[in-house]
Amino acid sequence: MRTVKQPRALATRDRILAEAARLFALKGYHDTKLEEIQSAAEVTTGAFFHHFGGKEDLGFAVLDRHMGKRRKSLDEIERRMPPPREDDPLGRVFLRLDAIQEMVRQREQRKGGCVIGNLSTALSDTHDGFRQRLAECFDEMAREFKPHLDAAVQQSGAARHVDTWELARYIVAIVEGSIMLTRTHRDRQMMARQFDYLKEHLRQSLGASST
């Protein structure tokens, strides 16, 4: 990935990334042509290749941008929400779930699906580099939950072993699946219901008393 420092060049690069992310989410990676991205971003072929080595390089940059924007958005949403008690680690998990739900609600008018989900479906079986990077994206999401799950397990004094890493991945699976189901069924309340079931499962499995 090429390093860019000048403000005008940074703005051009970000415009290319924004249009690529939009088109990948709307049409998929394979069905989006570089010419379409260049046209949408209003850049020449020379300007595009000044910033990116090609479509693959662009795809990795889109993933990096998406994850960065996701982190920033969720952190900002959480700061506007009532914080959980200091002694309530499971409440931190629920806060992140509530922030995800709010982020999805804010984006519900956008056309196209999740770029992470779309690229996973299109590329995981055919491009090992993308498969590995996408796996890292999902694992990054899981790491947001794991420390709080560790603390909740320790606090609960659970008699049985709880694999908090797999539990964190399970949460990510519910989140991503709920996003797809919500869009497919056009049911705005589906994610809320799925998250309610998930929270109840976590309360019961960790023996916590969070509300």
Rounded to the nearest integer, the mean pLDDT of the chain is: 91
Q: What is the pLDDT of residue 196?
A: 97
How far, rounded to the nearest angstrom, does the alpha carbon of residue 179 sit from its chain's CA centroid?
A: 10
Residue of 170, 190, 180, 179 lying closest to 93 (CA atoms): 170
Could you report the per-residue pLDDT of 83-132, keeping only the tens digit for each? 999 899 999 999 999 999 999 999 877 777 788 988 998 999 999 999 99
Q: What is the pTM of this model?
A: 0.88
Give 3-state DSSP helix, strand, coil % of the chain, rounded to 5.
75, 0, 25
With beta carbons less than 8 A apart as the criterion, state whether 81 and 159 touch. no
Which tokens hold the place of 140?
A: 């990054």
Single-letter amino acid code for the residue at 115: V
Could you report the per-residue pLDDT of 155-193, keeping only the tens digit for each? 987 767 899 999 999 999 999 999 989 888 989 899 999
Name the DSSP letter for residue 126.
T
Work out the number of other CB atoms within 10 angstroms of the CB of residue 122: 17
d(CA 203, CA 206): 5
d(CA 190, CA 179): 9
Residue of 186, 60, 135, 85 lying closest to 51 (CA atoms): 60
Lowest mean pLDDT among 84-88, 99-103, 136-140, 207-211: 207-211
Q: Integer distance in angstroms from the first to the last C-alpha of the chain?
A: 45
Q: Quick one: three-class SS letters along 63-110?
A: HHHHHHHHHHHHHHHHHCCCCCCCCCHHHHHHHHHHHHHHHHHHCCCC
- How many Cα neighbours within 13 Å face the side chain of 150? 7
